[in-house]
Amino acid sequence: MTPLAGYLLVAALLFAIGLAGALTRRNAILVLIGIELMLNAANLNLIAFWRYGPHPEALTGMMFAIFSIAVAAAEAAVGLGLVIQIHRHAHTTDLDAMNRMKG
Amino acid sequence: MIQEAISFTPQLTATPIAGLLWLIPAVPILAAGVISLLKQPKRKTSSTLAIGSLGFSLLFSICAFLHVLTGWMHGQAVRETVNFTWIQVGTTNVDLGWVLDPLSAVMLVMVCFVGLLIFIYSTGYMAHDENFTRFFCFLALFAGAMLGVVISNSLLLLFMCWELVGLTSYLLIGFWYHKPSAAAAAKKAFLTTRVGDIFFLLGMVWLYAQTNTLLFYNQGAGSIETGALTGLLAAHAGWGLTAAGAVGLLIFAGAAGKSGQLPLHVWLPDAMEGPTPVSALIHAATMVAAGVYLIARVYPLMQAGALTGGTTTALTVVTFVGASTAVFAALIAVAQNDIKRILAYSTVSQLGYMMAGLGMGGVAVGMFHLITHAFFKALLFMGAGSVIHGCHEEQDIRHMGGLSKKMRLTFFTYAIGMLALSGFPLLFSGFWSKDGILEAAQHWSVAKAPFYMLVFGALLTAFYMTRQVSYAFFGSYRGHAEVHESPKVMTLPLAILAFFAIALGALGTPAWPWFRAFLEGHSAEYVGWHVFFEPGLPALMCTSALVVFVGLGLGWLLYGNRSPRAEEADILEQKIPLLWKLMSDRFYVDEFYGLTFIPFYGWWGRVADFFDRHVWGGLVAFTAWAFRMGAHLSRFFDHQFVNGGFDKSCEEIAAGGGLLARIQSGRVQAYLRILAVAVAILTVILIWSSRA
């Protein structure tokens, strides 16, 4: 097994764990944490493909990862803000109770 | 006796008086229109309007007559026509117009004058009638229509006015329509004259097809002028007739219907159901005169093809129909008891004389009798009306008697009328006009039979008039009601007419045949008394005088100064019961029609009704049913297929929308789950496709 395949496996595992968390948790904050896990799995993939790709001397993969982390941070900030607002409004963070956007 | 008509220079251009001739019929018709708008109580206004309008027409007619007369005296045969195009279709014109010539001028004056006297008389006779206003409306329309007939220069315009005369006669005969007999008589008059009119219409259409015009005179292009007549004579119609003869016969059939000639005379006696002034108007001035006038008007057509002194088929038929009618109706008149009915049959008989006079002697002979007859027959009818009025609506002469003392003026005038009708020698107009006809009959080249028939008719005329007068005016009074003389407004017209019944004879004596010369357009010469002593004429005059005296004498012998009771059988009935029965039952003509034509038409009507109801009606009903079925079918299609299909697809779309809406549940994690599954499937597909 090549090192790349190992990294990719770890990333896929991480993604699966994040997805499972995001799908199964009731609590909105835990769902957000699952989504963060999936994002980091993607970052891991970026780094791995860069490090073992044809041009490891250019810092492209690292730049992508840093951008992605920055976007994730911003997204987490917005997501948490929304969760807090919803909690203030509905006194719950249960996602199943928040179904007012149904068609 | 048939002479070339125009020996004067014809004057053809229309003068202003001819241009305004249309006012003569138009004013009474307009008056009728105005009266029809008046309310029932406006009696005075309506009668004034009617009399005033006819008075205007009379004045205008006299002006026109004087105009023609002056022209004639200056050696001009006045014939002024005004023609105009009524309808134009492509190159086909239908022209109408009016004509002023001696014939129409004489007729205009007669109709207006007699009509005016009858109008005045009516104000007295109808004084107590509730529908006075309506009566005068119809009277004015009647007179106007007749005047229209007189001035027409187009067979079509004449026919229109002719039909107007027919309509108004229907309205007037049925004036007391609440009486069933009056309503039936009106219907009978209308239908019987219609039979003749069908033939008239056919003749008119034929004439138009042959000559392409219906104008009588149109400066050489009219239908009865030489050019058209030559064409008509050249065309053959079958049975040895030329087109001219055939058209002439068809037109005569129309005239026979209006003038009560033999097969179509049945309506005229029944027309007595109308008020007496109407009878006077119908019998003297307007309706029946229209038929005779028509023949006189189209005389060149009737005469076309005759050699000098010869005759044509059409004229022979006219003569024989006229002569038979004269005798036939006179026989019936002998055995009637209704004062007006006797006069009615006498009118039929005298119309026969006029027709025979036209057939044998030409326009002047027939027209002279028409004019004199109009005066004395109007006199007789109005006298009879005065008698009926005085005896409180009693019409049966057996319930009268001795009236000569109680109604002196009526009696004297009536006696004058009666003597004029009988043809009392020398003094009375009827003698001269009847003598003219007899003279023509004597010289007729075809047959002598009409002469003997007419002489026999003259005998009968004198006889039945004596019988009537003896019954009504002599002997003792056998009625119950109080008799009174009629008011002045009724007796005055009688006196005027009585004067003319005597005086008019002077216009047409053989010594000074002024009337004939005037009508035929050559100068009148005073022939002198010596004609009375030329061979032929004195014998004829003696014969006719003798016949009249025999008739009067026989009548006086049998009926004079007796006062038979109403229940008693008539003297003649006791002597010749069989013939009497035949005559008093009017030779069963009505019964004959009742057994033949009427059931035939009734049967035919039922056949047509059956066809209408079942065959054509069934066809229509079937078509309607078929269309209804078609409608049902397309409705079913609409419902089941078009509507159903559309509804179904709408339902399906709505259901699909509902299904998709369930996915949109608002649960974020459910969306995420679907997303994950979709990504997983996409991944599998990608891996699979990269592998292949």
Minimum-distance CB partner of B666 among A22, A31, A101: A101
User: Which residues, 6 or more positions from B250, have their beta carbon under 8 angstroms from its beta carbon?
Assistant: B199, B200, B202, B203, B206
pLDDT at B524: 66
Indicate whether A80 belongs to any domain: yes
Three-class DSSP category at B84:
strand
The model's pLDDT over B529-554, given as tens digits with 9 standing for 90+, comes to 666 666 677 788 888 888 888 888 88
pLDDT at B5: 41
Phi (first) and psi of residue B85, to 5 degrees: -85, 125
Per the structure, the count of domains in chain A is: 1
Q: Residues of A with CB below 8 A from B660's CB?
A: 103
Contact A100 B666 (CB under 8 A): yes
Crossing angle of helices B363-390 and B102-125, in 10° steps, is 0
CB-based contact, A99 to chain B, within 8 Å: yes
Report which residue type is found at B666: G
Q: How confident is the model at residue B2 (pLDDT cuts 50, 70, 90)?
A: very low
The model's pLDDT over B188-232, given as tens digits with 9 standing for 90+, comes to 999 899 989 999 999 999 988 888 888 888 877 788 887 888 888
Distance, CA of B94 to CA of B89 (rounded, Å)? 8
Indicate whether A101 belongs to any domain: no
Q: Interface pTM (ipTM) of the complex?
A: 0.84
pLDDT at B554: 86
Indicate whether A32 belongs to any domain: yes
DSSP 3-state percent helix, strand, coil across chain B (nearest 5):
75, 5, 20
Question: Which residues share a beta bridge with B384?
Answer: none
Tokens 């086909």 label which residue?
B92
Question: Which residues share a beta bridge with B85?
Answer: B95
Average pLDDT over residues A53-77: 90
Tell me whether strands B241-242 and B236-238 are parallel, antiparallel or unpaired: antiparallel
Q: Residues of B with CB below 8 A from A22's CB?
A: 669, 672
The model's pLDDT over A68-85, given as tens digits with 9 standing for 90+, comes to 999 999 999 999 999 899
Interface probe for A, chosen from B660, B662, B667, B677 (most Cβ of A below 10 Å), is B667
Indicate whether A95 belongs to any domain: no
CATH number for the domain that contains residue A19: 1.10.287.3510
Tokens 């050249």 label which residue?
B234
Contact A102 B669 (CB under 8 A): no
Q: Give chain B's mean pLDDT.
A: 86
pLDDT above 90 as % of chain B? 31
Indicate whether A81 belongs to any domain: yes
Three-class DSSP category at B443:
coil
Contact B667 A95 (CB under 8 A): yes
Model-level pTM? 0.76
Q: Residues of B with CB below 8 A from A23's CB?
A: 669, 672-673, 676
Q: Is the pLDDT of residue B557 over 70?
A: yes
Indicate whether A46 belongs to any domain: yes
Nearest-Cα distance to chain B for A82, in Å, is 14
Indicate whether A100 belongs to any domain: no
Q: Is the pLDDT of residue A92 over 90?
A: no
Q: Residues of A with CB below 8 A from B676's CB?
A: 19, 23
> How crowded is residue B387: how many other Cβ atoms within 10 Å of its Cβ?
25
> Domain range for residue A54?
3-90
Average pLDDT over residues B556-579: 74
Three-class DSSP category at A27:
strand
Indicate whether A99 belongs to any domain: no
Size of interface A-B (CB pairs under 8 A): 29
Q: How confident is the model at residue B567 (pLDDT cuts 50, 70, 90)?
A: low
